[in-house]
Structure 1
Amino acid sequence: MSLEKDIESFVKSVGLDLYDISVVNEGGDTIYRVNVISREIENNRRKGVTLDECVNLTHLISPLLDVTPPVSGDYRLEVGSPGIERKIHSLKQFEMSIGENVALHLKSKEKLKGILLKVEDSNIILDVDGEEILVDFSQISKAKTYFEW
């Protein structure tokens, strides 16, 4: 099994979903970042992830990384939420963002903002001002969720 699949198993075991894993360099430090989101929906939005859930998950994942280091050299494990406004890179992440506000930048330079209704095959379906718009995933250059204040 791959390291990502092992981590995903731990994440699911505590009732969360794995959003993404990344390796970033900040201030000369290498950070192995594991972002998770809640499975629970509250008031048509995903519940937040608590600090206790992140700490618990860190304690589960850390021994695995001691045996199978994710990067060479020193690094710091960081487990957290990707936030209410987050980048969307994959169809899986679109599926995890259904019901949320999303902003799309298309390869045609067009920009769309609306509520993500569903994902069917490689199609993203948005409600843009009451109209259903279908966009093929391959036509999206950038996507993110956003929060309206």
Structure 2
Amino acid sequence: MCPVGVNTVEEAQRVALIEEVVAPVVGDHGLELVDLEWRGLRPRGVLRLFVDKRGGIGIGECERLSREIGDVLDAAAVIEGGYDLEVSSPGLDRQLRKEREYRWAVGKQVRCWLAGGEEVRGRLTEVTSERLVLDREGERVEVGRAGVTKARLEAEVPWPRKA
């Protein structure tokens, strides 16, 4: 995970423990834990879980998962004090961080920000540990993975065709 809001070794250890407790529950529901954010604010922290599956996740699934994860976290006592739990989809424009997320995104429109400020957009066609290959309107564009500072899916909205 790329834990957002983690500023100390203690918080990083807490996030790792939370992930260890939460990931099996998410997996039992046939879902993937995409990301986890912990904001250890006082008096109440905020734990955000981003989950997904092929074809997307509905609000009902998020609600059921939230209740179950809340019970499991409370029983495991991994979070001291009160906290708010938010479970949601990573969204249409989700950020891509891990290699498996890039592989999942093959065939989808992506936007990559490169070191030096350049942006590259196109349909992701190939992923290796060293590079990404995008199709930009028929042009093959290769991008070195080490130079990608950020990458996101780009939402594709199918517009109705005019008759």
What range describes the TM-score normalised by the shorter chain of this pair?
0.7 to 0.9
Normalising by structure 2, we get a TM-score of: 0.73
Gapped regions of structure 1 (runs ≥ 5): 40-46
Gapped regions of structure 2 (runs ≥ 5): 1-15, 158-163
Q: Which moved more, 1:58-67 or 1:48-57?
A: 58-67
Structure whose CA Rg is larger: 2
1:87-137 per-residue CA deviation (whole Å, 9 max, x = no partner) reads 223323323322221111100322100112232224222222223322222
Which position in structure 1 is the counterpart of 2:53?
A: 38
Find runs of 4+ consecutive structure 1 residues off by over 6 angstroms: none
Determine which of 67, 75, 91 is the counterpart of 1:67. 75
Q: Which moved more, 1:94-103 or 1:62-71?
A: 62-71
Change (3 A) 1:140 1:62: same
> What's the Cα RMSD here?
2.5
Structure ranking higher in helix proportion: 2
**Matched residues, number:** 141
Determine which of 11, 16, 21 is the counterpart of 1:6. 21
Which position in structure 2 is the counterpart of 1:112?
A: 120
Percent of aligned positions that are identical: 28
Q: Given that residues 127 and 133 in structure 2 are in contact (C-alpha distance below 8 angstroms), is that contact kept between their aligned partners in structure 1?
A: yes
Normalising by structure 1, we get a TM-score of: 0.79
Structure ranking higher in strand proportion: 1
Q: Which amino acid aligns with 1:137?
A: R
Deviation at 1:29, TM superposition (A): 5.7
- Looking at structure 1, the residues matched to 151 and 71 of structure 2 have their Cα atoms a distance apart, in angstroms, of 34
